[in-house]
Structure 1
Amino acid sequence: MAADVKVIDADAKFPEGPFVENGVLYYAQYGAGEIDKWDGKQRTVLWHQEGSGANAVQRFGDGFIIAGYDNGTIVLTDASGTTKTVIAQDDEGQKLLGPNDIALDGKGGAYVSLSGPWESGPIVGKIVHVAKDGKTRVLAKDIHYANGLVVSADGQTLYVNESEAGRVIRFKIAADGSLSDRRLYLRLYELGEPAAAYPDGIKLGPDGNLYIGEYSAGRILVVDPSTKKLVKTIDVPSAAAPNLAFSGDGKTIYVTAVDDKSAAPYPGKIYAVTNF
């Protein structure tokens, strides 16, 4: 049985990096440089900065944490969306190159992927950790376009999409949040996807499975984390399905999608998917 797919925002500009809280969907619009919130009836702007390339948002303390892909910043805001702190370099004094996606660590901090250059020659992607006080430290380097990332249900593993390599890698998470034991987890072609399949966002579903969004197709791949086997695919009628978020009851997936990847502002949609 095909899933039910409904458009809830037909005028999104490269929507990305969503999460749901108390029935409200928050998501980035990379093509508009803003963070929006959708309460089930209307969309309002929470935060905007021209040229930021806002790419992901998550709750962070009483406010929010935002990844600014284009201007190389991680922004911490208050509850109203007013900027409080702008992080522009890591603890090694290096500029943040392509802040992309965010995964909360369950302890008040967050992991943030720094992609490195688009269609990279040098493989210089990183994972950084942002503590509650904003302290930012580098935990992993030399990732081939670090993108979506998610913490396992037991808090012991971080999965990271290595987009330009078409694969998912994983790290062990120590008690202090540091990462070790980097390993290959799976390659998308092993799931039956084309060799050029491009993993983007990744989330842990309420069923315990990993849900991987593709920038190379309007498709979500559902993978059993223990067997690494494909459980099913969920398709939306757009060229790309880079990211997703689950409703509080787990019965709806909000899929951020792009219809035209050729030029800014990259028009797309937000889909609500049920009966999946």
Structure 2
Amino acid sequence: MGGMTDVRVLVDGLRIVESPRWHDGRLWFCHWGAGVAMAVDAEGRAEVVLDDPAVDPHTIGWLPDGRLLVVPKNQDAGRRLLRREPDGTWVAHADLSGLPAGLNELVVDGRGNVYVNGAGFGLLEFMRDLDPDDPRPLTQRPGYAPGFIALITADGAVHQQRFDIAFPNGMAVTADNGTLIVSESFAGCLTAFDIAADGSLGNRRVFAGGIGPDGICLDADGAVWTSDGGTAAVRVAEGGQILDRVELDRPPFAVMLGGDDGRTLFMLAAQWNPQDPFGGTTGRVLATTAPAPHVGWP
């Protein structure tokens, strides 16, 4: 197992940072608590790229033609997937009101299919009410409900695909559009599905267990970068072998490979306080060099 120590801080003093995507020469990410999306280059030059209270980005992605997609954090006005048109206007890409509450992550594949997942329950309330002395698994605690993955096809139609996902988090699609991998954070594993020609999911199986995955990305060796459930980012092979580990001083919420050659590993980390999740400023964007370049989506 390799260890990587040349970690540098690109941006500091943020709140909760999530949904990193390498796009058009920069790392884009959502800055939860500030209600904006930001972008930073490899030298640490950062700027706000989306500041619209009506949007308040929770997770982002791009269609193959370059139009931006956003799941808004505030879903009180209705669960929906928004699309930004070339003239800057926002339109509804899909009506998600038929899905359970708790929308979380999205990934767009190379064909323009969009996969959106959700917890199926109110995560912040669930975490605030957790009894630290309760020995039961999180999936057996009061307030838990199974999560889901939904497919939105290019015509905007919503197809509920899979349920019984133990708090779905980050997702990635392989470069051949043939496999979707999702973090089941409450089950401590990465789960893989085959993707059929129509975008539907089948052949569910465990990709890797024994970790605490959140946001994920894929590399050219077929490995997945994610969190270990503690304060390290890990590179895990199918079957569960940890190939590389990056030790941090705070938990990584999400990771993304990017840079000119795809070998820069960006890690979004912060201290998590469920009693005041967006009140601190421990959020950081960190970077190091990875052994294999990025492939697939996001």
- 2:113·2:151 contact (CA, 8 Å) conserved in 1? yes
Aligned match for 1:206, one of 216, 220, 230: 220
Q: SS of the residue aligned with 1:164?
A: coil
Q: Structure 1 residues 175, 257: closer, same or farther in 2, change over 3 A?
A: same
Cα RMSD (Å) of the superposition? 2.5
Indicate the residue corresponding to 2:59 in structure 1.
56
Of Structure 1 and Structure 2, the greater strand share is in 1
TM score, norm. by length of structure 1: 0.84
Q: Structure 1 residues 122, 88: closer, same or farther in 2, change over 3 A?
A: farther
Indicate the residue corresponding to 2:135 in structure 1.
none
Post-superposition shift, 1:51? 8.2
Give the Cα separation in 2 of the matches to 1:51 and 1:24: 24
Where do residues 129-208 of structure 1 align in structure 2 (5 Å cutoff)? 129-188=151-210, 198-208=212-222
Question: In structure 1, what residue type is equivalent to 2:104?
Answer: N
Where do residues 17-166 of structure 1 align in structure 2 (5 Å cutoff)? 17-39=19-41, 40=43, 42-50=45-53, 54-60=57-63, 61-71=65-75, 72-79=79-86, 82-85=89-92, 87-89=94-96, 94-117=98-121, 118=123, 119=126, 121-166=143-188
Post-superposition shift, 1:81? 5.7
Indicate the residue corresponding to 2:296 in structure 1.
none
Post-superposition shift, 1:69? 4.2
Give the Cα separation in 1 of the matches to 2:4 and 2:205: 34
TM score, norm. by length of structure 2: 0.78
Post-superposition shift, 1:41? 5.1
Q: Structure 1 residues 206, 185: closer, same or farther in 2, change over 3 A?
A: closer
Structure 1 or 2, whichever has the larger Rg, is 2
Give the Cα separation in 2 of the matches to 1:16 and 1:170: 22
Give the Cα separation in 1 of the matches to 2:15 and 2:158: 29
Give the Cα separation in 1 of the matches to 2:46 and 2:213: 28
Indicate the residue corresponding to 1:193 in structure 2.
none
Unpaired runs of 5+ in structure 1?
A: 190-197
Where relative contact order (Cα < 8 A, 6+ residues apart) is larger, the structure is 2
Post-superposition shift, 1:183? 2.2
Number of residues of Structure 1 aligned to a counterpart in Structure 2: 262
